[in-house]
Chain A
C-alpha cells in the first residue's frame, strides 16, 4: 500500500484540534497566573500590573502558616514514604516469600481507590487510636500535623514503590554478581552498586510523593486538626468566601513549585 500524505484540509484540522486541546488544558492556568498580577481586587479583570498580592501574601500569617505546614508535612511524609516504598520495592522484586502475590496486587489498591475512601478510613482509624490511647494513658490527643503526615505517607508508599520497581526491573543483576566476584559483601554491593543505580528511580519516587503531598486536599482536610490546616485546605476556605488575587498569587507559587519538581524529576531520570 502506498502511504499518502494526509490531505491538506485534514492536517489543518488536526493542527486546530491539537491547539484546542492544549488551550482547554492550559488556558485556565494562564488566566490564573495573569490575574495574580492584576490590580483588580476581585481578581477577575485586568486593570493594570501589580505585585501587591504577592507582598500581601507574605504578610498574611494564616496563609504563610499553612504554607509552612504543607512543606513540613511534604518533607516528612516524603522521607518516610520513600524509605518504606523503596524497601517494599526491593522486597517485591528480589525475594520470593509467602503472600508475595497478594502484596503485589494490593500495592495498586491505594492508587486506584477513591481518595475519599482512604480519607474516611484513616479518619476512623485515627479516632480509634486516640480512644485507645485515651483509655490506656488518659491523654487526650487531637488531630495534628502528625496525623496528616501519617495519612500522606499511607497514600504515597504505593506510588514510590511502583516507580522504584520500574527501575529495579531494568537492573542487571549480573552487576551485583560482578561486585561479589570482586570481593564486595551484600552491604557493599547494595551501597556501591544497587543503590546508586536505582537512585534516579528513588528520586523520581520521592519527587512524586512530594508533589502528591503538596496538592493533596481530601486527606489533608480530614486529618488535619484545628489550626494546623495545609495550604490547599486554607485556599479552599478562602475561596468559599471570595476569590481574591491573593489566592491567584499563592496558586501561581504552588504551580511554580510543581513545575520545578517535575523538571527536577525529569533531570534525575535522565542522569542514568
Chain B
C-alpha cells in the first residue's frame, strides 16, 4: 500500500487509577507485518490492543492508524477488527449471521452478503457450518468463526488477543500454521497478542517484548532471541544461565566481566557498557559446549570452566545437563543428540569431570 506505518503509537500511556497499565509506549507497525506483543500476564498487552481498537482511550499520547489520528474515532468507525480471546461470538445468531454482521453494519447490499460470507467461511475451512449456532461448535471451530467474522470486513489491521490461548496444544500448532497462511493470503497487518514466547517466535515478523506496561525491546525473532538487550528479555524468551558481575574491560562490541566468585567471562554487548558497571552475562544452554578435559586441551575457545556433571536428563532430541561450577553455582548445558546410539559412554554421566567452553560471540553481557 504505502510507506505510512499501519499503526503508530506515540508515547502512549494508560492509567487505571494509580496503576500504569501502559507506560510510555511508542511503536510502529509496518503495513502487512505480522507483529506480536509478547509479555507475561498483566504487562499491558490487552490494554495496548484495546487502545488501538478504540475500547480504551490513552491517558496520554496518540494512536495513529495509517497516519490518521484516532483520538476522536469511536471503535465502530476504526478500520480495524478484533479477534477476542473469548471469541465473543453472538450466541443468538447462526455462524453465517455472525460473519455477516460486520458487512450489514457497513450497509453492504443484501445480495452480496451470501457470497462474501461463504468466501470468508471457506477461507477458514468452515464451509457447510453456516447454519450452526456458536455453542454447537468446538473451541477451534469457534475460533475460526471469530477469525472469519473479522476478516470478512477486510480491515486494514487485524487485532488478535491471545486467540489460541483456549486451544489444546495440538490444535494450537495447527492454528498457528493456519493463521500464518491466512495472513500471507490476505496481506493484512496482524497485531498478535500472546504470552507464549514460542508462539511469538514462530509466527512473527517482529516482536515487541513488554513488561510492566513498558516495551523493553522490539525486533525480529532472531534479534529478540540472539541479541536481547536486557536481562528480562533474555530470561523471558527461551532459557539461559545468568552470571552476575562487574565490567572489567570492553572493546569493539565485546566486554569482559568479573563475577563475585572470581570468574572472568567475555561476551557480546548488545548495548554500550562502561568499566565498573554492574552487568549480567547470559549464556544460553544450547550455545555452551561440554568437553572432556582431554578434548578441551586442543580447543581454542575463551571460556574454559572446569565443572563436574551433576544431573543428566535425556529428553529424546536433547540431553540436558546440569553442571556444578563451585559450591554456589550450577549451569545448564543442552547437547543435541546428533548420534543414534545406545552406548552409555556416548552420554555424560553424573560425577564426571568436564570443561564448559563457549566462544565469546555466543555469550552476552547485559547491563540494566
By a beta-carbon cutoff of 8 Å, the part of chain A in contact with chain B is 172, 174-175, 177-185, 188, 192-193, 196-197, 272
Compute how far the CA of A178 lies from the CA of B105 in the bound complex, rounded to whole angstroms. 12
Which residues of A lie under 8 Å from residue B54 when comparing CB positions? 180
Which residues of A lie under 8 Å from residue B149 when comparing CB positions? 182
- Provide a sorted-by-A list of 12 A–B residue pairs whose CB atoms are within 8 angstroms: A172-B86, A175-B90, A177-B84, A180-B74, A181-B76, A181-B81, A181-B82, A182-B81, A182-B102, A184-B76, A184-B101, A193-B90
Closest residue on chain A to residue B86 by CB atoms: A174
**Chain B min CB distance to A124 (Å):** 46
Evaluate contact between A174 and B74: CB separation under 8 angstroms.
no
Which residues of A lie under 8 Å from residue B90 when comparing CB positions? 175, 178-179, 193
Evaluate contact between B84 and A174: CB separation under 8 angstroms.
yes
The answer, yes or no, to whether B13 is at the interface (CB within 8 Å) is no
Evaluate contact between A179 and B55: CB separation under 8 angstroms.
no
Which residues of A lie under 8 Å from residue B101 when comparing CB positions? 179, 182, 184, 192
Q: For chain B, give the interface size range.
A: 20 to 34
Compute how far the CA of A159 lies from the CA of B251 in the bound complex, rounded to whole angstroms. 79
Compute how far the CA of A197 lies from the CA of B90 in the bound complex, rounded to whole angstroms. 9
Evaluate contact between B76 and A183: CB separation under 8 angstroms.
yes
Q: Which of A172, A177, A181 has the most CB of B within 10 A?
A: A181
Which residues of B lie under 8 Å from residue A174 when comparing CB positions? 84, 86, 88
**Chain A min CB distance to B15 (Å):** 18
- Say which residue of A172, A185, A196 sits within 8 Å of B76 (CB atoms): A185
Closest residue on chain B to residue A185 by CB atoms: B76
Which residues of A lie under 8 Å from residue B102 when comparing CB positions? 182-183
Which residues of A lie under 8 Å from residue B75 when comparing CB positions? 177, 180-181
| Contact indicator per residue, chain B 51-87, by CB within 8 Å of chain A (1) or not (0) | 0011100000000000000000011110011101010
The answer, yes or no, to whether B91 is at the interface (CB within 8 Å) is yes
**Chain A min CB distance to B121 (Å):** 16
Compute how far the CA of A184 lies from the CA of B107 in the bound complex, rounded to whole angstroms. 11
Compute how far the CA of A178 lies from the CA of B147 in the bound complex, rounded to whole angstroms. 12
Closest 9 CB pairs of A and B: A183-B105, A182-B102, A178-B88, A180-B75, A174-B88, A181-B82, A180-B76, A183-B76, A184-B105
**Chain B min CB distance to A233 (Å):** 42
Which residues of A lie under 8 Å from residue B91 when comparing CB positions? 175, 197, 272
Contacts A177-B55, A179-B90, A180-B76 aside, 6 further interface pairs with beta carbons under 8 A come to A172-B88, A178-B89, A180-B75, A183-B102, A183-B153, A197-B91
Compute how far the CA of A182 lies from the CA of B55 in the bound complex, rounded to whole angstroms. 12
Evaluate contact between A181 and B53: CB separation under 8 angstroms.
yes
Evaluate contact between B76 and A178: CB separation under 8 angstroms.
no
**Chain A min CB distance to B321 (Å):** 47
**Chain B min CB distance to A202 (Å):** 14
Which residues of A lie under 8 Å from residue B74 when comparing CB positions? 180
Closest residue on chain B to residue A196 by CB atoms: B92
Which residues of A lie under 8 Å from residue B105 when comparing CB positions? 179, 182-184, 188
The answer, yes or no, to whether B106 is at the interface (CB within 8 Å) is yes
Closest residue on chain B to residue A188 by CB atoms: B105
**Chain B min CB distance to A93 (Å):** 19
Which residues of B lie under 8 Å from residue A272 when comparing CB positions? 91
Which residues of A lie under 8 Å from residue B153 when comparing CB positions? 182-183
Closest residue on chain A to residue B107 by CB atoms: A183
Closest residue on chain B to residue A181 by CB atoms: B82
Which residues of A lie under 8 Å from residue B55 when comparing CB positions? 177, 180
Known A177-B55, A177-B75, A178-B82; judge A183-B88 contact (CB<8 A).
no
